[in-house]
């Protein structure tokens, strides 16, 4: 099996699986005062420390959530609850994942002025464009690090530092889901007050994510109840998932630069193969993450090709897994034509992708192209 859909989700690593089992066996409630509870509490503490180390922040700045979607909803609605009565504008982009875009739509419905910055002609969101949109009435800037459909790598550190230099009180949030443990992220350098990450994109289990909230920033909770996670996120902690997340984080916090180098070499190989093919176009060639590449295969509809490849045990996405069956508005924002959108495939590499996988992928596309030519 050749799995090239790692931006949708990843295969859990053995360490994460073992972590989940350990968390299941350590069945106490972390809030219980007896030793069963303490054992579970220690596992949660260990995972929290691992996530904190991976972001160079304090463990008390890390809150476990059920997924990055919940993290971003908490960040956005929390910022609104704390500031939205006094201030009225938020600034974001037109290329955000639905986990940010839909809460932004909801803020708009609630009367907030949502300014969405579109990529420029080079497909980039510049600090200048963001600065032109923020003003004294702005309470939140929420911008993603790596776009999940094209791999576009946004200059978020420069954007957030420009925002904070002029408006120190504006809350900044970064969806780092596709950048986490693929690029080194340090909270101080990134300059985001809040960061969303997800375990299932880093070979951890599904159903668990985290939200970093800078110490001192008060963000009202989305879920209220038993007061877990320092009342930031009530609900009994999922010790198995947290434990699995922690083990994946420990594994993939190491050698980020080495893996990035390998990903860049694979991206170069993929681009070479596309060029050699002649019928494959790259949809985004600006500053990007090597882990995600969007291509269009001339004359072959995405879904048809996706299922053709699937029969050969090769798995890719037709765009983003979240836009299943729907045309992606995000690709249009990058200036991709409707015809190219119809033939888009997203190739996203992971920890165990090899050059041979990419060679086999291109060879399978060649076969599909030849079959199509025969039919014509």
Interacting residue ranges for ligand PLP, rule: CB under 6 A: 67-69, 97, 99, 144, 148, 175, 177-178, 198, 209, 322
Q: Answer yes or no: 322 catalytic.
A: yes
Active-site residue among 13, 274, 322, 366? 322
Pick the closest to residue 27 from 240, 317, 330 (CA basis).
240
Q: Which residue number, 67 or 87, has a Cβ lying nearer to ligand PLP?
A: 67
Q: Which residue number, 26 or 196, has a Cβ lying nearer to ligand PLP?
A: 196
DSSP alpha helix (H) spans, the chain: 14-25, 35-55, 68-83, 98-109, 127-133, 156-166, 187-190, 239-253, 256-277, 302-311, 329-333, 338-342, 355-375
- Paired sense of beta strands 89-93 and 113-117, if any: parallel
Q: Which residue number, 156 or 364, has a Cβ lying nearer to ligand PLP?
A: 156
Shortest distance in whole angstroms from residue 288 CB to ligand PLP: 14
182 neighbors 263 (Cβ within 8 angstroms) = yes
- Paired sense of beta strands 138-142 and 314-315, if any: unpaired
Q: Which residue number, 146 or 365, has a Cβ lying nearer to ligand PLP?
A: 146
CA distance 254 to 346: 27
Shortest distance in whole angstroms from residue 174 CB to ligand PLP: 10
* Alpha-carbon distance values, 355 to 151, 226, 240 (Å): 19, 50, 34
Shortest distance in whole angstroms from residue 50 CB to ligand PLP: 18
Shortest distance in whole angstroms from residue 269 CB to ligand PLP: 24
Catalytic residues: 322
């Amino acid at each position: 099996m050749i799995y090239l859909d790692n931006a949708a989700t990843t295969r859990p690593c053995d360490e994460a699986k073992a972590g989940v089992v350990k968390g299941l066996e350590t069945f106490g409630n972390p809030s219980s005062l007896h030793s069963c509870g303490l054992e579970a509490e220690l596992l949660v503490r260990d995972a929290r420390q691992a996530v904190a180390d991976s972001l160079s922040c304090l463990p008390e700045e890390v809150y476990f959530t059920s997924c990055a979607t919940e993290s971003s909803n908490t960040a956005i609605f929390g910022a609104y609850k704390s500031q939205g009565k006094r201030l009225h504008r938020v600034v974001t982009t037109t290329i955000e994942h639905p986990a940010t875009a839909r809460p932004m739509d909801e803020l708009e419905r609630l009367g907030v002025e949502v300014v969405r910055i579109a990529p420029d002609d080079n497909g980039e969101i510049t600090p200048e464009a963001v600065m032109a949109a923020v003003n004294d009435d702005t309470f939140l800037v929420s911008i993603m690090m790596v776009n999940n459909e094209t791999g576009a790598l946004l200059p978020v550190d420069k954007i957030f530092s420009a925002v904070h230099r002029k408006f120190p009180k504006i809350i900044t949030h970064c969806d780092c889901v596709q950048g986490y443990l693929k690029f080194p992220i340090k909270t101080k350098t990134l300059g985001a007050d809040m960061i969303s990450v997800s375990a299932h994109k880093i070979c951890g289990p599904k159903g668990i994510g985290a939200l970093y909230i800078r110490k001192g920033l008060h963000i009202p909770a989305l879920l209220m109840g038993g007061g877990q996670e320092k009342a930031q996120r009530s609900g009994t902690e999922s010790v198995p998932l947290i434990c699995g997340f922690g083990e994946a984080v420990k594994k993939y916090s190491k050698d980020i630069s080495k893996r990035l180098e390998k990903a860049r070499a694979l991206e170069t190989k993929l681009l070479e193969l596309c060029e050699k093919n002649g019928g494959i176009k790259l949809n985004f060639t600006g500053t990007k993450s090597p882990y995600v590449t969007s291509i269009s295969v001339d004359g072959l509809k995405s879904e048809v090709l996706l299922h053709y490849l699937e029969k050969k045990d090769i798995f890719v996405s037709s765009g983003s897994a979240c836009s299943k069956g729907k045309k992606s508005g995000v690709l249009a924002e990058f200036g991709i034509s409707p015809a190219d959108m119809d033939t888009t495939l997203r190739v996203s590499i992971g920890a165990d992708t090899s050059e041979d996988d990419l060679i086999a992928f291109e060879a399978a596309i060649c076969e599909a192209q030849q079959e199509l030519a025969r039919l014509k």
